[in-house]
């Protein structure tokens, strides 16, 4: 999808923060954008912002709970009725759910994974057949996090979900290439967003027995650090990643050394003993993936 002008994007969590920044970058590049979001106040504010910039004809807002599969299907129908074929699916809806593993309840796990994994599954099952059917190719971006690359304590639910996005995208990418659909996993560092307001979107059925209620109240009072990345800059990086068909879309070079240490520790943990060649030959298909070879070659050629 190097040529994005005239193409249609569907963004979950699309009316604030990273989603809204991506919507702005996509519209500026000539795309039409459907912003799906669980909060109507964010949708209204986002639509007004585009209207103020005389870009309102390029955007459409839909209120959507990504865990509701029937609503997702209706949202897809509405998106196609409004702008036509959808080419870019950006699964971005999420929350900032934090706290120790020992305090997490079923309500916390079910809500967190229901949105951050289940919501992505719903997006894929809803939109992939439609993108394949129109035959014009497309792209899928799933939002992960630097927490998937450098996990930190007290984020067990969040990190579990975000790590799943990395594996999901790495597995899907070679499969969907045959249908001319690119796949990227987006792993941002801190971005100026409303993630601290996540408690406002927790459904009542997941509130009664939560172990994180007080932590969500405290998080809701947190101020946004002006040193964190601007959402529109973030959106521009996502757009560049889509155009370049990048497997990984990263934002903050400050995390490079920590990522290197993570993967060095992983590789150093393999048994220091000779390879059983007969066994290796019998499982050769498991021992590597040409996708990584190709991605490295592309990046090295780009960087000179």
Domains and CATH numbers, the chain: 8-266 (3.40.50.720)
Residue 41 CB-density burial (10 A; 0-12 exposed, 13-18 middle, 19+ buried) = exposed
Q: What is the pLDDT of residues 118-168, one digit of tens each?
A: 999 999 999 999 999 999 999 999 999 999 999 999 999 999 999 999 999
Q: Supply the DSSP symbol for 272.
A: S
pTM (predicted TM-score)? 0.95
**Angle, helix 156-177 to helix 106-113, in steps of 10 degrees:** 30
Residue 28 pLDDT more than 90? yes
Catalytic residue among 106, 158, 212, 248: 158
Token pair belonging to 144 = 């992960």
Find the Cα–Cα–Cα–Cα dihedral 197, 202, 204, 209, rounded to 10°. Answer: -100
Q: What is the pLDDT of residues 70-121, one digit of tens each?
A: 999 999 999 999 999 999 999 999 999 999 999 999 999 999 999 999 999 9
Task: Examine the residue annotation and report whether 248 is marked as an active-site residue of this protein.
Answer: no
């Amino acid at each position: 999808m190097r040529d994005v002008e005239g193409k249609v994007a569907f963004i979950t969590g699309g009316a604030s923060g990273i989603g809204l920044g991506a919507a702005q970058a996509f519209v500026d590049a000539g795309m039409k954008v459907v912003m799906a979001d669980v909060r109507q106040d964010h949708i209204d504010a986002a639509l007004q912002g585009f209207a103020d910039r005389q870009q309102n004809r390029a955007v459409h807002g839909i209120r959507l709970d990504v865990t509701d599969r029937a609503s997702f299907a209706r949202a897809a129908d509405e998106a196609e009725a409004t702008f036509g074929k959808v080419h870019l699916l950006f699964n971005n809806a999420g929350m900032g759910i934090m706290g120790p593993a020992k305090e997490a309840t079923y309500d916390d796990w079910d809500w967190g994974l229901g949105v951050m994994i289940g919501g992505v599954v719903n997006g894929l099952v809803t939109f992939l057949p439609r993108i394949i059917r129109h035959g014009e190719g497309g792209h899928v971006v799933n939002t992960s996090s630097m927490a998937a690359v450098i996990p930190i304590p007290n984020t067990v639910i969040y990190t579990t979900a975000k790590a799943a996005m990395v594996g999901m995208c790495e597995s899907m990418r070679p499969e969907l290439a045959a249908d001319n659909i690119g796949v990227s996993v987006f792993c941002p560092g801190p971005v100026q967003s409303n993630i601290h307001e996540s408690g406002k979107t927790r459904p009542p059925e997941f509130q009664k027995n939560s172990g994180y209620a007080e932590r969500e109240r405290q998080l809701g009072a947190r101020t946004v650090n002006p040193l964190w990345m601007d959402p529109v800059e973030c959106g521009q990086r996502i757009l560049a990643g889509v155009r370049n068909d990048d497997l990984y879309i990263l934002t903050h070079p400050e995390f490079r050394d920590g990522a290197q240490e993570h993967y060095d520790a992983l590789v150093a943990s393999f048994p220091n003993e000779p390879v059983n060649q007969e066994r290796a030959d019998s499982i050769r298909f498991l021992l590597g993936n040409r996708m990584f070879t190709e991605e490295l070659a592309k990046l090295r050629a780009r960087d000179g």
